[in-house]
Amino acid sequence: MTTLYERYADEIAGLIRRQALRAGDRLPSVRQASASRGISPSTVFEAYYLLEARGLVEARSRSGYYVKAAAATLPPPGLARPGDATEVAISELVFQVLGSSGRPDMVPLGSAFPSPALFPLAALARHLGQGMRALPPQRLVQDLAPGNDDLRRQIVRRYGIDGTAVSAEEIVMTNGAMEALGLCLQAVTRPGDVVAVESPTFYAALQALERLQLRALEVPTDAREGVDLDALAGLLDRHRVKACWFMPSFQNPLGALMPQAKRQALVDLLARHQVPLIEDDVYAELHADARKPVPAKAFDRAGLVMHCGSFSKCLAPGYRVGWVAAGRFAQRVERLRLMSSLSPALPSQQAVAAYLAEGGYDRHLRRLRRALSESRRAMLAAVRQHFPVGTRVHEPQGGYFLWVELPSSVDALELHRRARAQGIGLAPGPLFSPAAGFAHCIRLNHGHADDPRIDGAVQTLGALAWAMA
């Protein structure tokens, strides 16, 4: 269904095509358009952002939006152009930029986690103690290789409820999702191989490629619908891609949600090329809509999709309980885990299993989703109010990140340095690309609404960005 802002954007685009609006003409101000059309200012902003993304209009500092002299088609927000596979050397920049982000005196807009106050930590701690007291001693050894039996059954049950057929034999428990994702990479690649990643992509994915001496092939990725499948198909024809690492649900950092039909097309495309998909799905439970997105794993008939999940972002941060439904690669992944970490911590697995069995998990998730939806709306409104003209921000349908594209004159790394001096953390765009691209973009975490410093920090960030625009 076409949204209101898309209809308004299409109407203006039609005026430009018919030359009723010509190059250099000024579009109505946001206030004028809102009043004359009876639509909200945020709807007008979204329409203008979309027109800007299409290359039809441009924002001029402190002046408004104007029809561009050349209406060339530009990629939509967050969409990069395909290129060649590159070696990855991102870790030093990540450590330099994010080294201070976890300090309590820093406002956590650059954090990778939502607020701990959103999680039932007291209940988990109670289950941690009770579960270990009741655990038969022999289970401490028996559960090492496969992982906690009760928890694996609970995970399989949740897959089934969501309509995805997964067997317990392909579930490998791991120390968080990052270990699962790294083991999947190791299972299907060797040093020097090419791995396709979204552009932009999560910096920890790039660090994993760097550690394993793999080359990254960036695939154009849209802020609304995820990976560009046409571009991916062309890249698969030109490169010997050994694996794809994608995040179809609420992609970090864009927040993109790949439509269900597109997920099936992705799985079919990779099956034709016999390329494994490492599906990073740690944000799937954080959907704003009524229904959880169907994972790409649900369409896998060849066993090529390795679906990685975790309780760190939705239930138990710090417990480091993750898993992978590894398909045909399950035995290889489990053996790699045995050779590296042997097993994730059994007390953490036992506590999560007991909490799930008690039956309060879905109730907790509903509260968590409501809280994140409210904080998302609040931060979107604040960014639109305080950030410079020409700023674009897409409203994601889940997760807890906002991807903000600032005017091209704003250097995200310099903005980070100035913000850090004010005690504000953020994640600058160059962290999310092996080529240090997205130089005028930032990722903001809206999952800390309980922190009273957030509103002032967003306003300060806006003022800093205005000074650089």
Domain ranges of the chain: 4-67, 89-116+363-468, 120-361
Q: How far is CA 329 from CA 156, 173, 189, 454, in A?
A: 17, 14, 12, 44
Distance CA 448, CA 459 (A): 15
The continuous run of DSSP H or E covering 60 comes out as strand 57-60
Q: What is the pLDDT confidence band of residue 75, given thresholds at 50, 70 and 90?
A: very low
Residue 2: which pLDDT band, with cuts at 50, 70 and 90? low
Percent of the chain residues topping a pLDDT of 70? 92
Amino acid found at 368: L
Over residues 74-91, the mean pLDDT reads: 66
CATH topology of domain 120-361: Aspartate Aminotransferase; domain 2 (3.40.640)
The residue-averaged pLDDT of 137-143 equals 67
The CATH superfamily assigned to 89-116+363-468 is: Aspartate Aminotransferase, domain 1 (3.90.1150.10)
Q: Which residues contact 200 (CB under 8 A, 6 or more apart)?
A: 78, 80, 221, 253, 254, 403, 429, 432, 433, 437, 438, 441
Please say if the pLDDT value at position 102 is more than 80: no
User: What Rg, from alpha-carbon coordinates, does the chain have?
Assistant: 23
| Burial class of 363 by CB neighbour count within 10 A (0 to 12, 13 to 18, 19+) | exposed
Q: What is the pLDDT of residue 142?
A: 65
Q: What is the pLDDT of residue 378?
A: 96
* Dihedral pair phi/psi, residue 244, rounded to 5°: -120, 135
Whole-angstrom distance, CA of residue 188 vs CA of residue 329: 8
| Percent share of the chain, pLDDT over 90 | 67
Give me the architecture of the 4-67 domain, per CATH.
Answer: Orthogonal Bundle (1.10)
Q: How many helices (H) and strands (E) does the chain have?
A: 16, 15
Domain 4-67 matches domain 120-361 at the CATH topology level:
no
Is residue 77 pLDDT above 60, yes or no?
no
Q: Is the pLDDT of residue 62 over 80?
A: no
151 has a pLDDT exceeding 90: yes
| DSSP 8-state class, residue 63 | T
Of 72, 39, 37, the C-alpha closest to 56 is 72
What DSSP letter does each residue of 359-408 carry, written as one string?
T-HHHHHHHHHHHHHHHHHHHHHHHHHHSPTT-EE---SBSSEEEEE--T
Residue 441 has which token pair?
């973009």
What is the tens place of the pLDDT at every residue in 223-236? Answer: 999 999 999 999 99
- Convert the pLDDT of each residue in 324-371 to its tens digit: 999 999 999 999 999 988 888 888 999 999 999 988 999 999 999 999
pLDDT at 446: 97
* Parallel/antiparallel/unpaired status of strands 86-87 and 64-67: unpaired
- pLDDT(76) > 50: no
For residue 80, what pLDDT is reported?
Answer: 56
